[in-house]
A and B are shown apart, each in its own frame.
Chain A
Amino acid sequence: MLFKLSFKNMQKSIKDYAIYFLTLVLGVAIFYMFNSLDSQQAMLQVSQSQKEIIKLMISMLGMISVFVAIILGLLIVYANNFLINRRKKEFGIYMTLGMGKRQISKIILLETIFVGIISLAVGLIIGIFASQFMSIIVAKMFEANMNEFKFVFSRDACIKTCIYFGVMYIAVMFFNTMTVSRYKLINLLNAVKKNEEIKMRNPIISILVFFISASILGYAYWKVTADIRSMDKAVKLLPPILMGIGGTLGIFWSLSGFILRIVQIMKNIYLKGTNMFVLRQINNKINTTVISMSVICLMLFMTITILSSSLALRNTLERGLVEMTPVDINLYKTANLPESYINRFGNKVTYSKEQQEDSRITVEETLVNNGLDMKVLKDVIEIPIYATNELTLEKFFGSEIENIKRLYAMMNYSTPEEIVKISDYNKIAKLYGIEQYELNDDEYIVICNFDNIASLRNQVLSIGENIFTIAEKQYKSKYNECKNGFIEISTNHTNTGIILVPDSCALTEESKEKSFLVANYNAKTDKEIEKVEEIFSSDNSELLKRLSDKGLNITGISKISIMEASVGLATIVTFIAIYLGIIFLIASAAILALKQLTESSDNKQRYEILRKIGCDEKMINKALFRQIGIFFGIPLILAIIHSIFGIQFVLEMLSGLAEKKDLLPSIIATVIVMGIIYGAYFLATYFGSKNIIKEE
């Protein structure tokens, strides 16, 4: 009997449950997809070092899944509570018919099990199919080739999903039983009639709070963007974050009163059609939903910021990679090692005779001496990089140094600049396929591609008085700005500055700082390339063993290692961002939708009155559309404003890793994803509400 009753109830309230069910299914599907990543086909076909990255990613996703499960769990408990409260009258009738609370709990229990099992099953099926599709995207991200398509099912992910959601449903049952045990029959029967007292806020206080909150937000925005330099410790981020949360709460607390007051003054808008009604509807409800609106707004803010900046990060990394890795390998070592020196921690560091001698020969000589067959390399160019105390950062910045120290207190300004002779640089530039430069005898050029540092250097260069002396000869800058270029291959624009001087510059052998070798691998097929790569990177490489036995140190950066590290990094960040972003988005959209739908019984009466006093269906639908539209719109708009500053902050923090010009495509992608999910919830809510207010 109870079984039949609960099953009938489900059918009856299918409209109410639709959004709840949709959210559960989406939650299950996404949870499965991201937890099944490890067994996906693409993962089986990536290289060894990528496997390490994937391992890291899987373990990070695992941790994040716990967090996601908590969010989903809270969402489910919250949503369920809403639906139960909506059915108070039904339970009241059962109780007057002699049903005990225990039996009502049983009905709800059965319903929860029904909904749970069905949503889990449907969600898993969707998840399993969607993960096949995701596999293709993963393969593209890791640049693995997927020659054959194989259907993959992850048993582990499936079991994990079932356990996590099982626990959530048990929590829901527990909460439901608690809710039911607190019910009083009289309250249940009168649930529909209860006349909620409308809490009105003093308009003047509302306006005051609104402006105070807006100023707090403005200050927080300023703090994280224009004043970002003061954020040198993580702890200092806390005040702006708290201000952001407080400001958001304040805005929602006061917004509707504020808008109402403003519109009331504009009589021609206020006294037009159903405007007055719509505004009051919003004012009435937003007052009771300050906290949930704020939570939704902040979740949307995180979604937008996380999605946009992570996608921008990925785009920048990928574009940077192609540009910044024109050769297969860079090898360099420190030149002119002294017998000993005192490092900056005050410890004495000594070098052996062998180390000192080795530092005075070229990289190539060292390699050959230790048994490398130079035939594995081609296009070999080796240049010296100089440094002299006559030209340090401090000297370069000259009179501007105080200003710059204020901005970047942590930089070591007594470090000598790296100096390269123009013909040496041009040799490398020619191989890299980047711009070559010419110099007169008394000129120098600064090449730099790290945007923040470049703009600092430009400040100095634009004054045009920056002259320095090496070996009693004066040099002035050829250009009044830094030029683009680099020597060391890397993931992105990280060259903080190299000074190019004429070949005639009297740099002594003793001022040689580094020997720097660039080369391509003399290999054609992927297999051959990997073999050469192993000589310089594998743990079993004989060359590396010999060098380390002698205490010799050659630093190497290969294109492959850069690629893998950065593709891996980008992919981890992107995956986690998409995972979290979508979960936040679903959670906030679902809360909004459920709130609207469950309050539709109040709305129903009100819209019925409108109908009775002569509103036609068109006017009513328009009013409903605007009401729901504004409800979905307000948190989104504030979230977008937050994000404008949030994204700038993230870009600044990731300086160099993600660039502004990569933002547009990622913002477009974010808008599409958000538009689809948020829009779908909005439409579902609108049509659901429309049905409810139409019901007889």
Chain B
Amino acid sequence: MEKILQVKNIEKYYGSKSNLTKAIDNISFDVNKGEFVGIMGASGSGKTTLLNTISTIDKVTSGHIIINEEDITKLKGNKLNRFRREELGFIFQDFNLLDTLTAYENIAIALTIQKVSSSEIDGKVNAIAEKLGIKEILKKYPYQVSGGQKQRIASARAIITNPKLVLADEPTGALDSKSARQLLENFEFLNQKLQATILMVTHDAFTASYANRILFIKDGKIFNELIKGNDTRKQFFEKIIEVQTLLGGDLNDVI
């Protein structure tokens, strides 16, 4: 299996020597091509910091992160920007759609800032919109569509550039349960039909149950790992709850 992401012994410290916080304390793991990995943890566990270091928004104190054979801890300035633009796709909790742009334009802008030739853009946007079932709303503005549709537009924007890795930060955080379910089915679709590699951070067991593999993080360390294998989603969900109980009740207090 081709390794898309390798995280090797990374650490991230905050604060001064006298008052040191280890947000990430020696974490290592790999993500293979086509995997759908969930990262779970309570607030303050370091999961968002982990995602930020992988997404090149934050820098590690030590260790290496290798995405598609490139060590991103060594990239700087414009190279880093280009890497982020071309190799990574992002899906954010609050969609982060541009309110002034139509759905079509929100998807297309991911391509235009990569300087993709304008003749290719139209076909690509229509193709992805078709797959995600948002073709009818392409001419609408974000404020005119539902939360689930917004999330699908954001997903389309994230994967239209064919990123090596799609990073999702609490993607269901702002959705009602129906929209959340739709979105997660979407993720499944992206993962299974479009072969997108997804790394998703969440604190919600239901959301996490859609992943193939889950890493549990507590106090900056990997606490446990669960693999779905041949389980049904319901069985997997129950396993997740078990681990959560083990981790301590604080996980459910978050919301």
A267 near B113: Cβ-Cβ < 8 Å: no
Residues of A within 8 A of B119 (CB): 267-268
- Which residue of chain A is the closest to B118 with respect to CB atoms? A271
**A349 close to chain B: CB less than 8 A:** no
Task: Tell me the complex Cα distance, A198–B82, Å.
Answer: 32
Whose C-beta in chain B lies nearest to the C-beta of A275? B112
**Segment at the B interface, from A166-174, A447-455, A480-488, A611-619:** A611-619
With A276-B108, A613-B90 known as contacts, the answer to whether A271 contacts B121 (CB < 8 A) is yes
Tell me, rounded to whole Å, the shortest Cβ–Cβ distance linking A256 to chain B. 11
Chain B interface: which of A279-287, A456-464, A577-585?
Answer: A279-287
Which residue of A is nearest B120, CB measured?
Answer: A271
Contact in complex: B90, A273 (CB < 8 Å): no
Interface size on B, as a range, is 20 to 34
| Majority secondary structure of chain B interface residues (helix, strand, loop or mixed) | helix
Contact of A281 among B81, B100, B114, B122 (CB under 8 A): B100
Looking at the assembled complex, report how far the CB atom of B71 sits from the nearest CB atom of chain A, in whole angstroms: 19
* A283 CA to B105 CA, complexed, in Å: 14
Contact A198 B118 (CB under 8 A): no
Is B96's CB under 8 angstroms from A612's CB? yes
Shortest beta-carbon distance from A286 to chain B in Å:
12
Check if B81 sits within 8 Å of A614, measured CB to CB: yes
B166 within 8 A of A: no
Bound-state CA distance A603–B211 (Å) is: 36
Decide: A606 near B100, CB < 8 A? Known: A273-B113, A276-B108.
yes
B141 contacts A198, C-beta separation under 8 Å: yes
Q: What's the Cα separation between A612 and B168 when bound, in Å?
A: 12
- Given A276-B105, A612-B90: A267 touches B99 (CB 8 Å cut-off): no
Q: Is A354 an interface residue (CB 8 A)?
A: no
Contacts of A81-132 to chain B: CB distance below 8 A? none
Q: Within 8 Å of chain B (Cβ to Cβ): is A274?
A: yes
Give the CA-CA distance A539 to B226 in the complex, in Å.
112
| Residue ID in chain A nearest B97 by CB atoms | A609
Question: Is A276 a contact partner of B92 (Cβ separation < 8 A)?
Answer: no
A661 lies within 8 A of chain B by Cβ: no
Q: How far is the CB of B177 from the nearest CB of chain A, in Å?
A: 23
A616 neighbours in B (Cβ, 8 Å): 78, 81-82, 85
Digitize B92-110: 1 where CB-to-A-CB distance is under 8 Å, 0 elsewhere.
1000111111000100111
Chain A residues numbered 609-650 whose CB sits less than 8 Å from any CB in chain B: 609-610, 612-619
Residue of B nearest to A276 (CB): B105
Distance between B97 CB and nearest chain A CB, rounded to angstroms? 7
Q: Which of B82, B99, B111, B143 has the most CB of A within 10 A?
A: B99
Partner of B113, one of A196, A197, A613: A613
Assuming the A-B contacts A613-B110, A613-B113, are A280 and B143 also in contact, with contact meaning beta carbons closer than 8 angstroms in the complex?
Answer: no
B193 contacts the other chain (CB 8 A):
no
A272 within 8 A of B: yes
Q: Give the shortest distance, in Å, between A455 (CB) and chain B (any CB).
A: 55
> Does B213 reach chain A (CB closer than 8 Å)?
no
Cross-chain contact A609 with B98 (CB below 8 angstroms): yes
Check A277/B110 contact, CB under 8 A, given A195-B143, A614-B84, A616-B81. Answer: no
Query: When chains A and B are docked, how far (Å) is the Cα of A274 from the Cα of B113?
Result: 6
- For residue B178, CB closer than 8 A to chain A, the reply is no
Query: Distance (Å) between the CB of A19 and the closest chain B CB?
Result: 24
Is the CB of B157 closer than 8 A to any CB of chain A? yes
Q: How far is the CA of A200 from the CA of B121 in the complex (A)?
A: 24
Q: Among the interface residues A268, A273, A609, A613, which one has the most CB atoms of the partner chain B within 10 A? A: A613
Within 8 A of A (CB), among B64-87: 78, 81-82, 84-86
Contact present for A619 and B118 (CB under 8 Å): no
Question: Is B17 in the interface zone, CB < 8 Å from A?
Answer: no
| A270 at the binding interface (Cβ < 8 Å) | yes
C-alpha spacing A579/B84, complex, angstroms: 54
Scan A197-210; emit 1 where CB is below 8 A from any B CB, else 0: 11010000000000
Residues in A251-278 with C-beta less than 8 Å from chain B? 267-268, 270-277
- Does the CB pair A609–B96 fall under 8 Å? yes
The answer on a CB contact under 8 Å between A197 and B143 is yes
Determine how close the nearest CB of chain B comes to the CB of A614; give it in whole angstroms: 3
A613-B122 Cα distance, complex, nearest whole Å: 19
Q: Knowing A609-B96, A613-B109 are in contact, say whether A276-B90 is a contact too (CB < 8 A).
A: no
Instruction: Determine how close the nearest CB of chain A comes to the CB of B241; give it in whole angstroms.
Output: 33
Taking CB atoms, residues of chain A closer than 8 Å to B101 are: 276-277, 280
CB pair B109 A277 closer than 8 Å: yes
Residue pair B112, A271 in contact (C-beta under 8 Å)? yes
Contacts of B100 in A (CB 8 A): 198, 277, 280-281, 283-284, 606
Instruction: For the complex, give the distance between the alpha carbons of A609 and B78 in Å.
Output: 18
- Report how far A616 CA is from B143 CA in the complex, Å: 27
CB distance from A285 to the nearest CB of B (A): 9
**CA A195 to CA B109, docked complex, whole Å:** 21
Chain B minimum-CB-distance residue to A280: B100
The contact of A198 among B92, B99, B122, by CB within 8 Å, is B99
Q: How far is the CA of A617 from the CA of B108 in the complex (A)?
A: 20
User: Which residues from A are CB-within-8-Å of B90?
Assistant: 612-613
Interface string of B118-140 (1 = CB under 8 A from A): 11011000000000000000000
Which residue of B101, B121, B122 has the most chain A CB atoms within 10 A of its CB atom?
Answer: B101
How far in angstroms is the closest Cβ of chain A from B78?
6
With a cutoff of 8 Å between Cβ atoms, the chain A residues found around residue B99 in the complex are: 195-196, 198, 606
Chain B residues, CB < 8 A from A619: 113
Q: Which residues of A contact B143 (CB under 8 A)?
A: 195, 197-198
In the complex, what distance in Å separates the CA atom of A196 from the CA atom of B143?
Answer: 9
Q: A284-B100, A613-B90, A613-B157 are in contact. Are A268 and B118 (CB under 8 A)?
A: yes
Out of A195, A197, A273, name the residue touching B112 (CB < 8 Å).
A273
Q: Which of B133-171 contact A (CB under 8 A)?
A: 141, 143, 157
A143 to chain B, nearest CB (A): 58
Closest to A196 in B: B99
Decide: B141 and A614 in contact? CB cutoff 8 A. no
Contacts of B88 in A (CB 8 A): 614
Which A residue's beta carbon lies closest to that of B55? A612
Give Cα distance in the complex from A275 to B109, angstroms. 9
Question: Could you say which residues of chain A place their CB within 8 Å of the CB of B141?
Answer: 198, 200
Interface residues in A286-322 (C-beta closer than 8 Å to B): none
Chain B residues with Cβ below 8 Å from A200 are 141
Chain B residues positioned under 8 Å from A197 (CB to CB): 143
Contact B96 A267 (CB under 8 A): no
List the B residue with the shortest CB-CB distance to A606: B98
The smallest beta-carbon distance between A288 and chain B, in angstroms, is 12
Q: How far is the CA of A694 from the CA of B114 in the complex (A)?
A: 22
Minimal Cβ-Cβ distance residue in B for A274: B113
**Closest approach, in angstroms, between the C-beta of A622 and any C-beta of chain B?**
11
CB distance from B116 to the nearest CB of A (A): 8
- Of B78, B85, B118, B157, which contacts A272 at CB under 8 A? B118
Bound state CA distance, A312 and B121, in angstroms? 54
One digit per residue, 1 when the CB lies within 8 angstroms of any chain A CB and 0 when it does not, for chain B 8-37 equals 000000000000000000000000000000
Residues of A within 8 A of B (CB): 195-198, 200, 267-268, 270-277, 280-281, 283-284, 606, 609-610, 612-619
Q: Other than the known A267-B119, A277-B98, A280-B100, what 12 A-B pairs have Cβ atoms closer than 8 Å?
A: A197-B143, A198-B100, A271-B121, A272-B118, A273-B113, A280-B101, A612-B90, A612-B96, A613-B90, A613-B109, A614-B84, A616-B78
* 6 A-B pairs with the lowest CB-CB distances in the bound complex, closest first: A614-B85, A616-B81, A271-B118, A280-B100, A284-B100, A268-B118
| Chain B interface residues (CB < 8 Å from chain A) | 78, 81-82, 84-86, 88, 90, 92, 96-101, 105, 108-115, 118-119, 121-122, 141, 143, 157
20 inter-chain pairs at a CB distance below 8 angstroms, sorted by A residue, are: A195-B99, A197-B143, A198-B99, A267-B122, A268-B119, A271-B111, A273-B115, A276-B108, A276-B109, A277-B98, A277-B109, A283-B100, A284-B100, A609-B98, A612-B90, A612-B92, A613-B90, A613-B113, A616-B78, A616-B85
